[in-house]
Every structure is written in structure tokens, then in C-alpha cells.
Amino acid sequence: MRLRDIITVLIIAVLIVVPMLFGIYGDFLWFITLGYESVFLTILFTGIGLFVLFFLAFFLLSFLNLKIANRLSRRKGKKSTGKVREMNKVITILIIIFSFVIGFAFTNWEVVLKFLNSSPFQVVDPVFGLDVGFYAFELPFYSFILNFFFALIILNIFFTLISHLSLIKKTKMETEEEGEGPEPEVEWIWGGRRRKHRHAHSYFFNWSGFKERITPHLSILLALLFFVLSAWLHLVQFGLLFSESGTVYGAGYTDLNVTLPLLNILSVISVLIGILFLVNIRFRKWRVIRDGILAFVIVGFLGLIATGAVQALVVAPDEFNLENTYIERNIEGTLAAYGLDSIQETIFPVSYNLTAQDILNNNETISNIRLWDWRPLKHTYTQLQLFRTYYDFGGVDIDRYNINGQYKQVMVSAREMNTGNLPSTAKTWVNEHLVYTHGYGVVMNPVDRVSKEGLPVFYVKDIPPSSDFSSLSLERPEIYYGEESHAYVVTNTETEELDYPYGEQNVYTSYEGTGGVVLSDVLRRLVYAMKFGSIELMLSGSLTPQSRILMYRDVRGRIEKPVPFLAYDPDPYIVVSEGKLYWVIDAYTVTDGYPYSEPIMAGYLRRAPFNYIRNSVKVVMDAYNGNVDYYVIDPDDPVIKTYQKIFPDLFKDFSRMPADLKNHIRYPEGLFSIQATLYSYYHMKDPMVFYNKEDVWVVPDEIYIGTRQQMIPYYVIMKLPGEEKEEFILMLPFTPKGKDNMIGWMAASSDFPTYGNLTVFQFSKQELTYGPMQVEARIDQDADISQLMTLWSQAGSQVIRGNTLVIPIEDSILYIEPLYLEATERGTLPQLKRVIAVYGDKLTMKETLQEALDDIFGAAPITPTGLTVPISQTAAEKLAQIADLFNKAQDALAEGDLGLYQQYIDQIGELAGG
């Protein structure tokens, strides 16, 4: 190889390897900041080790095979020609290239480490009696190894054929006049022959000679291939438990009575054919190779015909009786794999006999009915609490807080930085990465309170954030890590960071947290300049040795980077806790290796189809420092047990989570949706009912902005039937397929000690219980409501119909639907104008929820949670005066008249004191 070629190769290697090494080093520094460098090193070194192992194994075995091919093909006592050596170099280069490809293809560290650290499920499959852990952890590893041997042998058969064919040399012949001299000489040349002939360049390939020389070598390789094929067929029988060819998912009648014996027969035949190939090394009969392969193909083809015939002629005419056992297995496996086997089922006898006293007794439920739909509320937040165009509200979350002794459901949204909304002239590197670095604070309002203008009443608002409740005060309102934080930022520079706007001016700050990698030297700056393609990181004079680069700042990307093997809920939510802001997100363990369990595809989890899931981990991320903690809430999950063995320093026990954060753990909507979807079929535990799909449920629809759409699970504070106090639950109603009446509802508890409990309440099938769409139809058919909505929808306005909430109270069902009015022009402010309440055959629409309940039940005004003390007429009059003075005080404050505001406040104090 010439010097120029060597230099070219070195330059290419540097261009490829150096950026890769810089990227690894940059990520390693980032992992150190999180304290998870052991996770990084475990994954890195395992991947490197697997690459080296499979690279060397493929290269050495392939190179040895090439040497054997050369030795078997070369004539005794003869040396290889120059052209033969050149072809060997070409084959060697191919071997090196494929070695790299194989090395990279078999760096699946997760399969190997889960095999080495597997945990039993303590559940055995009903066919082979093996623990489910075998299918989740061991079977993938065995398949992984066999795939390598398949690739190794098949590619070496290819290399062998090339090697033998390359030794056939086309040679220019001297010509002789026809009839002159002796008969043409014939000389065997490595499977071919040449002879002198009167026609120049004549060449004849001797097929029989070629077969004789290649047969022993090819017999060895084919024997190995069929031995591996036999092992693979043995593993395939376990894969029958995941068959999709029968009535249900999992091995059915044909699979176990035809396909399974066929696989065993083919496995034995493969071994016999392999032995036959080894014997053929001595006899060198090409037809043995041909006939052996042909026999395997024929047996396999006949087996496929037999399988189809049995399914069509035996199973189909008597399908249920033959598949009954396997349907039961599918039901049991699916319920167990998705955590539905422990669900509590109960009858909910509906009777419409609620009284005003019942409403008062369930005051905590009534006072937490969610009147605010998150979709129009986000627009309201944007108009009232954004303040600057570079802020944004990414989403509105639902949570609950204990506020002054009351258990309140709230809606909360983080005010995040979005530099994409900056004017184009302001989108400079300095502004996007050094100045506009973080969001600021949250907005929070109770779900039930509405101002007289139809707007939310805020618990937390404004910049800087203010609250009337000490438990909601924020000492660290800065949001450096959030849902909208996608770009890297650099803090502690010579350029001041915008903290928050204050009137016509801005307040600036310098980051005081521990997040990010310190850019302490030129090497680190170079590493991240290359990583982000940003030359400014090298040249900017604003950066100092104390500067920190904060990257991977979006919630999901940040928690997924160190722990990519878990699946994550798409909806992280913000929590105010002890003066700081935290993001909480649910993480799932999944596998596709649970026998007889129906697989499901949930695209929002960014995972391939799986048939087992557990919400085993709760992840908490500090919005200021970016610290990420993974708390194991389900220590009995075998999958998370396995990961804990692999990464002993990664996970924390749930007991170590701060107590206040535990109060905000909620049952994840993503898991609940999956469970509800499956339960709509798998509540039919009778195989006959399941087979005929006699009682399929579906998630009902509702109306939103005039469009019919499927309901989504919703959180509510309520007292479940049979319980003594209210709790925060996630619920969803069901309707029979093809009908609109409600058949039941599912609830998941989010509060301890009942966290995770699933309950399904079923209604009587003999009595009508209105479903959401039937309630929507009744609303549409009400003349007064329809007339008012038509009137509002004119003159540049539109009516937004919020979520139809199904609220179980005692043994009755109350339906609530809020109505919002919004101008159709851009920059509108949705306002809650009416509340519709439906109970039994009663339907009403009023300005407030209390008025609607009064109209239906004649209920007294709602008292503070837990208090039902009657109010005397004198006290009621005094409260009315206080309320009137308070409204006047607020109006004076809004107008900037602090003197008048103070007078009203003093009068309120005198009334309260008297």
C-alpha cells in the first residue's frame, strides 16, 4: 500500500473515530453530573466487550475457513498463483468488513445482561411448565446466539464458494493447426481444465472436478448449519406460545397437536442431515448434499400442508370445543400480564334518590368537580398569565394539594421559556443560549372556582409567583429543565441571564444550581462545540472556566438518556413541593415475552408491541438543578428486579422519596388507558362469552367543539362506594359496543394506602343508565339550552362544550358539563359561562355549579370541606356583607385605589370581629 493510501485511510479513521470519542467523553461528563456514571460505563463496556467478542469470533473463524478452503482447493505440491493471492486479499477484506458489521449488530447489551441477571416470575407456562422468566430473559439470549451462528455459517458458505471458484484460472491457449501435432493436452487446474485447441482462448469448466474438490468443505459447513437449524427449531417450539394463527393469541389446538410435533421431527431430521453431511466428507458425493436439503424442504412443505388441513378440516368445524382450553389460557395470561387479575369487580345499583343532605355529606366530592377543561383553560392561561411572548405554557396538569386543611383538586401549568417565539431579529446565539435560559414559576387554580367574569380563580399566579397559601409559595421558581426546554444553554457567563420581566424592565440573575457540565478547560469546550456543531462555544468571550453547559433539558429526553430501557408516560406533570418545582413522570417495564398474553401497541410509549407492563418506577426531576431520581414503587416486578441487579446504584427504594412528593404520586393515565382497552374485552372471563364476543365494552364518545371524540380518562376526587373518605382517583366509563347506554366504570386509586387498586363498577343490564352521548343528546334536545348556544355561536363567538364528567355519588350518577364562550378571533379569552347538570330525568343549566345543584336538589350553599353546621339568618347576612365588601375591595385594588381598598378591608375586619 502506497504512502498516500495510508495517509488517506488514517485521515478517514480520524474523521470517524475522533468525533465518536468526543461524543462518548461529552456524554460521560454529563452522566457524572447526574451521578450515574456507573450506568454509562456498564452499558459502554458491555457494548464494547460484545463488539470485540463477536468481531473476533467472526473474523477468526471466517479467516480459518478461508485457509481451509485454500488448502483443500490447491493442488498438492503447487503454490498459489499471484491472481489467487489477490482474490484471497479481496475475500479477507470482505471478511473484515462483515466482521465490523456483525460486531456492531451484536452489541445488544440488554439481552445479554438480562440473561445474566434474570429474575423468576414465579409463574409457569401451561404447556412446557417453564417459568415466564425463561421467555422474558433467556429465550431472547438463546435466539441472539443462534442468530450469530446463522450469520457466521451462511456468510462462510458464501466465502467458501467464492474462494473455490476464484481458483479456476482462465488461461490463454496456444493454438495449433487442426490435424497437426498430438492430441490436445488436458490438465486439471483446481476444478477446471485447459487444453490446446486450434481456437484461441478456448476454456472448459469441469463441473464434476469442482464438485469433487468443494464437497468435503461444503459438507462440513452445511453440517454445522443444520445443527444450528436443529437448535433453532427447538427454540421455535417455545415461540408457539406467542402464536397469532389460532382463535386467540398463544398456542392453539393446531399449534400443539400438529406444529409442535412437526417442529420436533424437523429438529431431529436436521441433526440426521447434519450427521449425513459429516459422513459425506469421506465419500464426497454431491448428491448427498442435494438430497439432504431436498428432504428437509419436502418434510417442511408437507408439514405446512398438514397444518393447514387440520386447521381447516378439523378445528374450524368444531372451533370452540377444540380451542376452549386455549381461550382460557389467553384470558388468564392477559389479565395477569397487565395487572388486571387482581381487579375488584362490584355491582353498582343505580337509584336516583339523592337529597340535598346527600350533596352536603359529599361536599368534598362536589367542591372538587372539575369545571375547567384543560384545553380552553390553556388559552385562558396564555391570555392572563403569559406576560411575554417568549414564555409558553406547554400543558395543563391535574393534581391535588392539601391547602389549609382542605383536600383540593387543582390544575397547574409551568411557565416555560420558548425562544422560538422571539422576534427573528432577536434570535441570536447569545439570546437563545446565554440570556433566555429558563422559564419562571407556575400558574395554579382550583378546578371548581370561577370568578364572576367566568375566569379561573388563581392559587398561584403572576411573575414573580404569588400565592395566598404558604404551602404554595416558591423559593425556586426558575425552570431550567422542562417540557419545552430542548436547546442547550450556558450559564455563569459574562452575559447576564434574564430572570424575569418586572414592569418595563427586566431582572437578571446568575445560575446558582448544580446542573450542567462545567466548561473548565478548552478540551471540554471543544467537545461540546463539536457535539452541538456550535463554533461559538469555542470562540465566545462570555464563557469562563466557571461556565456550565446545561443540555438534555427536556423532561422526557433527560430521564430517558441515562435509562433508555424503560418506557415512559407521555405526560410528565409539575409539582410544587416545599418551595421548589419538580417534574414527576411514570416509567414502565415492558416485555413481549409473557406466554398467552395479548400484545398491544401503544405508540405514545415509543415501544414495539408488548404483552406485559408494570408501572414499577416513579421518576422525579428537579426543575432547577436537573437531578433525576428513579424510585421503585413496585419491587415485586421481576423485570425491575433484573434491572436492579444490572444497575445496583441506579434505583432507589420508594420509601426514600420525600414525604411531600409522595402526596402527589398519581396512577398513570397511560397505563390506565391500556388496561381499560384490554379490560373492555377481557372482563368476559367465560370462554364461550369471550369466543362469541357477546359482551364487548367500548370507551364512550363525547362532544367537544361540535365534534364527536372518544373520552379520555380523567382524575376526580370522590368517595368510592363502600369507602369512608374521598380520594384522588382516575376513572373512565364504559358503554356496550354499538350502544350508548353506560354499562360500568373503572377507577384506579392514587392515594395511599390504596394506591394502585383497580375497581370496576358494573351497572345492571336490565335498567337504563345514561351514557355520555345520551346525555349529550338530551342537552341538544333541550330547547332553552339549544337556543342559547345557537345565539352565542353567532356574531364571532363559539361555544365550547367541556368534558362530560360522570360523577358517582352514593348510589347515583350525576353528570356535569361546563360551557365556555370564546371569540373566534385570535387572542381570545375563553370564559366559563354555564354549567349543565343532569341527574336522572332532570336537566338544568345555570351560571354556577351551586345554582345547578340547587335547582335539582334544593341544596344549601356548599360549606367548607368537612363542615355541615347550619348557618343562622344573622350569620348569613353578615357573610353576605363581607362578600360584598370583599368584591368592592378587589375592584378598588384593580383600579389602583389602595386607600379605598384598605377601608373595605378594615370594614371586613370589624364585621368578622363583631
Among 391, 379, 357, CA closest to 824: 379
CA distance 911 to 914: 5
- Taking CA atoms, 832 is separated from 450, 511, 904, in Å, by 8, 40, 28
Q: Give the type of residue at 97.
A: I
Contact 69, 163 (CB under 8 A): yes
pLDDT of residue 204: 46
Q: What is the DSSP string of 741-752?
A: S--EEEEEE-ST
Contact 866, 363 (CB under 8 A): yes
Contact 246, 254 (CB under 8 A): yes
Contact 166, 84 (CB under 8 A): yes
The answer to whether the peptide bond before residue 464 is cis (omega within 30 degrees of 0) is yes
Residue found by looking up cell 422525579 in the block: 620
CA distance 615 to 569: 9
Backbone angles phi, psi at 424, to 5 degrees: -60, -35
- Taking CA atoms, 268 is separated from 233, 354, 531, in Å, by 9, 72, 54
Exposed e or buried b for every residue in 17-50, given b needs 16+ CB within 10 A?
A: eeeeebeeebbebbbebbebbebbebbbebbeeb
| Segments in 494-593 forming alpha helices (H) | 522-532, 536-539, 555-560
Among 474, 548, 554, 465, CA closest to 511: 548
- Element (H or E) spanning 791, and its range? helix 783-792
As given in the structure block, the three cell numbers for residue 178 are 487442426
Reduced to 3 DSSP states, what percent helix, strand and coil does the chain have, rounded to the nearest 5?
A: 45, 20, 35
Residue 346 DSSP SS3: strand
- Strand 651-653 versus strand 628-632 pairing type: parallel
Among 62, 90, 71, CA closest to 216: 71
As given in the structure block, the three cell numbers for residue 657 are 422519596
As given in the structure block, the three cell numbers for residue 413 are 401549568
Q: Give the type of residue at 773.
A: M
- Provide the 8-state DSSP code for 798: E
**Longest distance between any two alpha carbons in the chain, whole Å:** 142
CA distance 793 to 824: 9
CA distance 595 to 299: 28
pLDDT of residue 172: 37
Q: Crossing angle for the helix pair 207-239 and 37-73, nearest 10 degrees?
A: 150
Among 755, 555, 577, 563, CA closest to 657: 577
As given in the structure block, the three cell numbers for residue 282 are 469421506
| Segments in 240-285 forming alpha helices (H) | 253-254, 260-283
pLDDT of residue 73: 62
Contact 564, 556 (CB under 8 A): no
Beta bridge partners of 761: 346, 745
Q: Model-level pTM?
A: 0.87
pLDDT of residue 403: 92
Residue 202 DSSP SS3: coil
Q: Is the dihedral of CA 150, 151, 156, 162 positive or negative?
A: positive
Among 421, 426, 401, CA closest to 411: 401
Residue 870, CA atoms < 13 Å, CB-side half-sphere: 3
- Strand 758-762 versus strand 744-749 pairing type: antiparallel
Among 730, 662, 745, CA closest to 697: 745
Contact 519, 511 (CB under 8 A): no
Contact 64, 57 (CB under 8 A): no
- Strand 758-762 versus strand 727-736 pairing type: unpaired
Burial of residue 487 (CB within 10 Å: 0-12, 13-18, 19+) is: middle
- Element (H or E) spanning 591, and its range? strand 580-591
Backbone angles phi, psi at 70, to 5 degrees: -65, -40
- Taking CA atoms, 892 is separated from 451, 458, 900, 903, 907, in Å, by 16, 19, 6, 10, 14
Q: How many CB atoms lie within 10 A of CB 810?
A: 17
Contact 31, 37 (CB under 8 A): yes
pLDDT of residue 322: 95
* Ranges of the chain whose pLDDT falls below 70: 1-2, 5, 72-84, 165-215, 284, 286, 795, 826-827, 859-880, 883, 886, 889-906, 908-914
Residue 32 DSSP SS3: helix
pLDDT of residue 82: 62
Contact 742, 815 (CB under 8 A): no
- Name 403's Cβ contacts closer than 8 Å, sequence gap at least 6: 459, 469, 471, 472
- Element (H or E) spanning 401, and its range? strand 397-403
Contact 139, 661 (CB under 8 A): no
pLDDT of residue 175: 37
Residue 119 DSSP SS3: coil
The answer to whether the peptide bond before residue 753 is cis (omega within 30 degrees of 0) is yes
Residue found by looking up cell 456550565 in the block: 548
Give residue 762's Cα distance to chain centre: 31
First to last CA, the chain: 103
CA distance 338 to 170: 67
Backbone angles phi, psi at 358, to 5 degrees: -60, -40
Residue 801 DSSP SS3: strand
Contact 29, 524 (CB under 8 A): yes
As given in the structure block, the three cell numbers for residue 75 are 493442488
- Element (H or E) spanning 85, and its range? helix 82-105
